[in-house]
Amino acid sequence: MTDSEARAVPDPDASHAHLAPTIAWIGPFVVFAAWLLLDKHIPLANPAKEIVRDTVILASIVGFSRRLIPSSAPHWVSSVAVGIGVCALWVAPDLLIPGWRSHAIFQNAVTGSVTISIEPRELTPLMLALRTTRAALLVPVLEELFWRGWLPRFLQDSDFRRIPLGQYTSFAFWATAALFAAEHGPFWEVGLVTGVVYNWWMRRTRSLGDVMLCHAATNLALSLFVIVTKRWGFWM
């Protein structure tokens, strides 16, 4: 990509300056994180809880960020391919090395342990469909708004709107990847690799739509892998 092409990539903030900029980028992520923290205290049984959760997440995306959602992914074929490759990288250590995830470097007091967040009796077709839909359609949008759309730009300038999408310093690149890894607890090492790949893809394409599609392809492939193999630990 030439410098002129990079400058031509529009930043949604420029045409929607009337939005509260930070909330528009991080609002859905904050709502999602808050739900995860409060999940055990929400007095609903599944599948009602899953439906309410997805409705709340969708409403937060529409309410906070609808004008930031890209309408296209110019490199969609490559984005899907990279996303599927990331899924392969995610599951490879556990498939290739027996007992890999049981090592104390992955499961400890800091990173937590691998837990199955869905009861066996709840593994109905409806629940699997809800989980897969959320993973493939909602999570990539809210996470990429935060991780690739807002955070690396904020780390470079508190007025992040002055930083073009896809522009990184070394600090912003690696700090974002490290924090993304930390978010994934006992899967931190594959989370770090994934964060690096997604950052690289965002830097290469300068396209939020492409990195969202890449993330969606990863999550869809991983969800299908989990359902087929019944390795529910990957669905924390």
- Summarize the confidence of residues 103-115 as an average pLDDT: 95
Ramachandran angles phi, psi of 125, nearest 5°? -55, -40
pTM of the model: 0.90
Rounded CA separation 201/84 (Å): 13
Band of residue 20 on the pLDDT scale cut at 50, 70, 90: confident
pLDDT digits (tens, 9 = 90+) for 143-179: 999 999 999 999 999 999 999 999 999 999 999 999 9
Per the structure block, which two tokens stand in for 22?
């930070």
Distance separating alpha carbons of residues 219 and 41, to the nearest angstrom: 27
pLDDT band (50, 70, 90) for residue 142? very high
* 8 A C-beta contact, residue 207 and residue 74: yes
pLDDT band at 3 (very low <50, low <70, confident <90, very high): very low
Would you place residue 7 in the very low, low, confident or very high pLDDT band (cuts 50, 70, 90)? very low
Query: Token pair of 2, please?
Result: 């030439």
pLDDT in tens, 187-224: 999 999 999 999 999 999 999 999 999 999 999 999 99
**Residue matched to tokens 């630990």:** 233
| pLDDT band at 116; cut points 50, 70, 90 | confident
Residue 234 is given by DSSP the state G
pLDDT of 4 over the 60 cut: no
β-strand partners of 108: 112
The residue that leads in pLDDT, 6 or 104, is: 104
